[in-house]
Each structure stands twice: as structure tokens, then as C-alpha cells.
Amino acid sequence: MELKRVVVTGLGVISPLGNDAASTWEAAKQGKSGAGPITHFDASLFKTQFACEVKNFKASDHFDRRKERQLDLYAQYALVAARQAVADAALDSESINKDRVGVIVAAGIGGLHTFEEEAGEYAVNAEKGPRYSPFFIPKMIADIASGHISMEYGFHGPNYGVVSACASSNNAIIDAFNLIRLGKADAIVTGGAEAAIYPAGVGGFNSMHALSTRNDSPETASRPFSKSRDGFVMGEGSAVLILEELEHAKARGAKIYAEVAGGGMSADAHHISATHPEGLGAILSMKNALEDAGMTTADIDYVNVHGTSTPVGDISEVKAIMKLFGEDAYRINISSTKSMTGHLLGATGAIEAFFSVKAIQDGIVPPTINHEEGDEDEEIDYKLNFTFNKAQERPVRAALSNAFGFGGHNATVILKQYKD
């Protein structure tokens, strides 16, 4: 069976850098940080008091009161990003076969804020018995964003969420890619969303010593591959891509940003939260993606790394790249856009796929910011081009994007220039 080609025809983003694709990309090219003091709740008693929050987002600007009551913040982000992507792709739901358009939007955690609110309500009313909102379960569950998007547009194709921690949205993109190239759908709305900057999210990660505690300088706290890195910075938001079968896209005159070349997955089978110290799972995930794409490391010009700014994780990913890429590791650009957006958890693969698409389209590699002179870790080879502090112009024929999650989940997506 001949596999169909899959292209990207639409982009939508709600992020700590901007509330649409254009402003997010412009801020990333300029190396801006999305970090600042937490405003979603009073974090004054927490070890970490800052995060990369979405700014100037009002639900009332996008939803009526009834709809707003049904949506956790993570689903609000997803639905608005999906609206942007569908509009960008000019995917007219009245002129396509909606039975062959699906939605696969991931979340690593889902409606954490809703869960916190409802748990608090039960505790307050414990003497009167349980009192839960009828919206509690359908607001909280991690698949509901896909459901809301499909209901808004009447898309009847494959519809579900994916949960694999911080690899979730890369897994969603790979699933969408596979369903389309196997002929199971003409187009799929895919990506991820997350909104976990609330007490349970920040407190939980603090207890694991996973978050940076650089409260005196939030903007410089996410510093992947720097010796002084002390943990990741939590981010939030959503990125949504429209993946479409090539001939379907051409038939309706869609613009094409890039082509999805391949996807790879693996498991570390090592630890509940730490990556394998030698990057064995990361190597296998990238290797599988290259084989799936029919490519070699010589075909890759840019790697958007998972690069969370944790002491162990950054080293293991660098080891994996060096072992797999060999001499090609010194030719490519590497960057961690988490230095600007923070770590969007289950949405991180989606926003980094967005950055990879834009790097291919514009020939610009976004930077890894916050690296200071002399701040070098002896376990990292700084002859590699980490694209420190400033974006770099170069042709990007293909970009490889990594996402790794708690539980040892690894997922790699490869995107490339579209050629007819």
C-alpha cells in the first residue's frame, strides 16, 4: 500500500509569547522571555513564585457565559488555538467531507484547575455531603478539548485525546500523521493544550525539585544547557496544527507550510521521572523517526530539543544527539525554545512543532536564551551550536523535534520543506 503524503496547512497558537501564531513567532525570533510572577493564584508561600503564563487572555472575549462555564482553561486555550488554525487553513467545514476530518488534541494533565476547585468544594461541604458541579468531570478530563473542537465544527472523523506526559502532543501529531497517510482521514486538527499553573501543579513539581526557584530573576530562570540551570519553568497555552493529505490540500488550493516527514517513539524503561542518563530512549526515538521518514542525520538541519533546563535531562539529550548524529551534530543548529516559553507540559511538543515549521518556512532558527559567558557545564560539548541568545539565519531543509515525558515516554516528529 502506498502511503499518502501529509502536509501542514494551518497554525494556531496561544502562548506565553503571544496570543496568535504571528506574535509568538516574532517574540521567539527576538529571543524574548515569557516568564514573570504568577498571577493565577497567590504563590507567595511557594518555593517557585513565577511561571510563563499566557497574557491578556479573557475567556469572555471568545465564549459566551454558558460555554465558558463548560470549559477548563486548558480547553479554552485549545479551542481558541484550533479556531485560529482552522481559519488559517481556510478549512471550510461546509465544503469538505466532515466525516473525514478528525481532531486529536493532547494534554498531559488536563483540567487541573477544575479538579482543585471541585476538591475544595467537597472539603467545604463535607458535613452536608458531596456537592459537585455537573460540569466537573467533562471539564476536567484530558480528552475534552478534542470533543469541543469537533462539536464546534461538526468534524466526525477520528476524535480523541492523547496522554503521555510531556510527550503527549508529539504523540498526537504522530497519530494524526499516521491516520492521514493510511487513508483514514483527509485532515486532522492536532496539537496540545495545558494550563497547570495552579497550586497543585506548582506545589507538586516543587516537591520533586523539578522547578527553577530563581524568583529574583524569572526572565532568566529557564536556561537550558547552562551550568547554573536549576530546573524548568512551567508554561501554559496551546498550539494546534492542521495536518492534511497532500492531494486534498492541493485540490482546495490550500497554502502549505511544510511536510510531515516521519515520527518515532520509544520508552526509556528506566525511571518514573528521570530520563535515561545515556539518552538510550531518546536515541531510539530519533532513530525510529529518521527511519520512518526515510532520512539520515545528514538531512536534518535543526533539532528543537526537549531541553527543559534540568541538570540531568539536558545532559542526557546532548549525549543522545552526539551518539546518533556523530559528526553531523556539529553541523546542525540546536535550540530549546523552552528558554522563552517555559515548559508547556502536554502542549510542549505542539508549540515546538510550530517553531520547527516556522524555522523551515523562514530559514530562521529561534534561539536558546539566557546563556551567560563562562556558564559552561563540563559534561556538555559547547562546540555544538546551541543557537545561544540570538536567532540564526540558515536554510532549514528539515527539522527534528523531541519531546520526552514522565514515565519514560519519548516521541520525535520530523518536518521538512514541502516540494511538489
* Element holding 350 (H helix, E strand): helix 348-362
Strand (E) or helix (H) holding 243? strand 237-245
Stated as kind and residue range, the H or E segment containing 398 is strand 398-405
φ, ψ of residue 320 to 5 degrees: the values are -65, -45
Give CA–CA dist 361/355, Å, rounded: 10
Catalytic residues, which ones?
166, 306, 343
Placement of cell 551567560 in the chain: 372
Is the distance from CB of 170 to CB of 349 less than 8 angstroms? yes
Residue 367 carries which side chain, given as an amino acid letter?
P
How far is the C-alpha of 356 from the C-alpha of 396, rounded, in Å?
9
DSSP 266-297: EE--S-SSSPPTT-HHHHHHHHHHHHHHT--G
Taken in order 169, 171, 176, 181, the sign of the CA dihedral is positive
Q: What value, to the nearest 5°, has the Cα angle with vertex 55 and ends 51 and 59? A: 120
| Distance, C-alpha 412 to centroid of its chain | 12
Handedness of CA 342, 344, 349, 354 (dihedral sign): negative
Q: Where do we find the cell 529571543?
A: 31
What are the grid coordinates assigned to 60, written together? 469572555
How many residues belong to the chain?
Answer: 420
Which residues, at least 6 apart from 355, have a Cβ–Cβ distance to it below 8 Å? 25, 28, 304, 337, 366, 401
Q: Measure CA of the first residue to CA of the last residue in the chain; give whole Å.
A: 21
CA angle 356, 230, 265 (to 5 degrees): 40
Contact 286, 318 (CB under 8 A): no
Check the CA dihedral 202-147-263-93 and report its sign.
Answer: negative
